[in-house]
Amino acid sequence: MLARHPDRWLMTDERQGEALWRALERLPRGGGIVFRHHATPARERARLFARVAAVARRRGLVLVRAGAPPLRGESGRHARRGSGLVTWPAHSRPEAIAAVRAGAAVVFVSPVFATRSHPGARALGPLRAAAIARGLPVAAVALGGVDERRYRRRLRALGFAGYAAIDAWAGPGD
């Protein structure tokens, strides 16, 4: 039996701009956030993280951080060993197995579908993504071009424990 983790995730990045705040409000209570913002300068990144952490506390959201250094208010880490909840990306079965060995509790299998955040990247497709996730002893979450409709109609039945997105949480016109 897998431990309980969020089944809806928001992946953050710089291209969201001010739409980040609307996305955080649209994410269901109990959902998860992977804070990336890799290109943001360190001080600005720490200030932004503090604002996101305040929203996460108020809304009961899990917040994991990608990259270094540790930031106050994080629930865990993404693609890095550490304390708290560890999440990890996987684009192949060997990467998924390596993620489990690294201590990941949640593995983001991607890109399932074509996505704006990685233009030109070859999508796995639902069946290849499911083959990567199949039998993992941790939660496998679909990422890349996924929204609620695609998750419910195509991916949940393939065994995914949820989905992560950027654009799916954007409001109209974003």
Peptide bond into 69 cis (omega under 30): yes
- Residue 172 forms part of a structural domain: no
Whole-angstrom CA distances from 74 to 36, 40, 47, 107, 122 are 12, 17, 13, 18, 32
- Residue 87 domain boundaries: 8-167
Total tally of structural domains belonging to the chain: 1
pTM of model > 0.85: yes
pLDDT bracket for residue 174 (50, 70, 90):
low
What is the reported pLDDT for 58?
A: 97
- Residue 30 forms part of a structural domain: yes
Alpha helices for the chain (secondary structure H): 19-26, 42-59, 93-101, 126-133, 148-150
Helix (H, G, I), strand (E, B) or coil at 3: coil
pLDDT bracket for residue 111 (50, 70, 90):
very high
Which CATH number does the domain housing residue 122 bear? 3.20.20.70
The yes-or-no verdict on residue 50 having pLDDT over 80 is yes
- Residue 174 forms part of a structural domain: no
pLDDT bracket for residue 73 (50, 70, 90):
confident
- Residue 20 forms part of a structural domain: yes
* Higher-scoring residue by pLDDT: 58, 174: 58
Q: Per-residue pLDDT tens for 55-65?
A: 999 999 999 99
Across the chain, what does the average pLDDT equal? 93
CA distance 104 to 149: 27
- Residue 25 forms part of a structural domain: yes
CB 166 within 8 Å of CB 117: yes
CB 139 within 8 Å of CB 166: no
pLDDT bracket for residue 3 (50, 70, 90):
low
